Amino acid sequence: MDKRVCPLIRVTGVSKRYKKVQALSSVDLEVQRGEAVALWGPNGAGKTTLLRCLLGIIQFEGTVEVDGFNVKRKGREARALIGYIPQEIRLHQDQSVWETVSFYAQLRSVARERVEKLLKEWELSASRHQMVQNLSGGMKQKLALIIALLSDPPLFFLDEPTSNLDAHTRHEFNLALDRLRLAGKTLVFCTHRASEVRKNADRVLILENGVIKAEGQPDSVRPHLARRTH
């Protein structure tokens, strides 16, 4: 079957339990190529757990396939297609921007020219010698995005990417998401900001207690977005 007409992500019967807490219960979903999908729900709804299942970095029941790769059996191949930006960005504070990006580029066998191109495109060339510990929140987000873009993956997972940013920097990061979408990237992101869902998502999955309670275009799930999630 032509992969271009198959979902990029297919999730079937995914459940995850942490001791007495049922974090996810029989979740089924598909994400199409080029689609931007928002995960919406209160703290503890299962959003981050679902992302970690999609990445194949925690054990779970059920099946997750990324571009046909089962993440339990072919996790490395699946993750090679994914750029991931966690909520808490952990980088070596005593390295420069250039040292940080170069380290990840070497791990992924990415050419220096690609690194230079990304630093220029995302306006961090002038800050290449600046230490990570001295970067603003927005600059750290740009650095994390550059690292995620190094191997030019088709799919991006973002876990509350703007939660620690001020209004101006959130606006800049949302422009960055626009650029990714225009480049044809597939996005799956968690957020607690209804404005970002309406602006950036083609479809919203409403999670409550580990179950998908509703899904649809942002306008069709507006009552859910009106609820406080924090």
Task: Give the confidence band of 3 by pLDDT, cuts at 50, 70, 90.
Answer: low
Tell me the three state secondary structure of residue 85. strand
* d(C-alpha 66, C-alpha 55), whole Å: 9
What's the pLDDT band for 188 if we cut at 50, 70, 90? very high
Question: Taking residues 77-103, what's their average pLDDT?
Answer: 91
Rounded mean pLDDT, 32-38:
95
Q: Hey, where are the domains in the chain? A: 93-152
The yes-or-no verdict on residue 2 having pLDDT over 70 is no
- pLDDT, position 1: 47
d(CA 105, CA 112): 8
Q: What confidence tier does 4 reach under pLDDT thresholds 50, 70, 90?
A: low
Give the count of beta carbons closer than 10 Å to the beta carbon of residue 108.
Answer: 11
Average pLDDT of every residue of the chain: 90
Rounded-to-integer distance, Cα 113 and Cα 176, Å: 21
* pLDDT, average across residues 206-215: 93
In the numeric block, the tokens 């993956």 are attached to: 153
